[in-house]
Amino acid sequence: MSVALLVGAIPSPPENAIGIGPLQLRAYGLAIAFGVLVGVWVAQRRWAARGGNPADISYLATWSVIAGLLGARAYHVLTDYHRFQGRWLHAFAVWEGGLGIPGGLLAGVVTGVVLARRRGLPAAQLLDVVAPAIPLAQAIGRLGNWFNQELFGRPTDLPWGLRIDVAHRPDGYERFATFHPTFLYEALWNLALAGLLVLYERRRPGAAPGTLFALYVGGYGLGRLWVEALRIDDATRIAGLRVNIWVSLLAIAASIVALAVLHRRQRRRAASPTNDDEPHLAAS
């Protein structure tokens, strides 16, 4: 018997859905929905604190979330296309799990920025407003993986190892009972990231617009990098590395470049003040 089973381990839920009469509500979808609601609520409060209209967040979030879900599913299907060969209709079965966060973020952010500019809203400030709200929403949504018994890591004897039913264990790992709860690691990382972003914002109120969001991208990429390295689920690889590891490295690099560009622009504006490219709201 493993040490984890002797000391204790995180149990997996016996069911992944809540039945209300003939209706089955998937815990995976409920976790994502609750995460979105909390994230939007936080973003609304942050935007209102800057003098903005919370209705702006509601409008942008509606379309960004829709685009994000489509982008997340498309990313999952494209990067794990081998899972759908011969069963392409399952590509639309979102309730079975399978949303790629990188694709969702890209689609959602691009949609939000485009719509914000069309409404004459300061896109960079809005990105900073939602920067802590996004990882908070992600942390809540990650709990859906717990109910689905998916996206866990290597076998472990640590006390917080996750018990996985035999039916959900990957081929070759049937004899192991407890695994690294990588989705929980990512959720905790995201919560810490959200807190650090708020702390940074309070200590550096004069940071260039867009800085907070760039820090989020880099911070999330860094966390996803080590979490992804622990996972054992089947995944498409490039040069021996999981696709999401490459995407995480790209996110970190993009964050560093963005921070350097924003810092340089801010120094130039401080030396020679000019009109900004987009409107600003006064921070409270």
Place of tokens 């935007």: 47
Q: Residue 273: which residues within 8 A CB-CB, separation 6 or more?
A: none
Judged on CB neighbours under 10 Å (0-12, 13-18, 19+), 134 is: buried
Single pTM value for the model = 0.89
Q: Quick one: angle between helices 211-230 and 243-271, nearest 10? A: 160
How far, in Å, CA of 39 to CA of 58, rounded? 11
The per-residue pLDDT for 25 is 85
| Displacement of CA 269 from its chain's centroid (Å) | 33
The per-residue pLDDT for 161 is 95
How far, in Å, CA of 55 to CA of 118, rounded? 15
Question: Domain boundaries in the chain?
Answer: 17-148+181-271
How far, in Å, CA of 242 to CA of 183, rounded? 16
DSSP state of 239: T
Q: What is the pLDDT along the chain (284 residues), one digit of tens a residue?
A: 444 444 457 888 888 887 777 888 888 889 999 999 999 999 999 999 999 999 999 999 999 999 999 999 889 888 887 777 777 666 777 656 678 899 999 999 999 999 999 999 999 999 999 999 999 999 999 999 999 999 999 999 999 999 999 999 999 999 999 999 999 999 999 999 999 999 999 999 999 999 999 999 999 999 999 999 999 998 889 999 999 999 999 999 999 999 999 999 988 888 876 555 555 564 43
- Smallest Cα–Cα separation from 36: which of 116, 119, 135, 107? 135
Q: What sign does the dihedral 195-9-232-169 (CA atoms) show?
A: negative
The per-residue pLDDT for 95 is 59
**What is the full DSSP assignment across 87-148?**
-GGGGG-GGG----HHHHHHHHHHHHHHHHHHTT--HHHHHHHHTTHHHHHHHHHTHHHHHH
- Give the angle 244-217-206 at the CA atoms, nearest 5°: 170
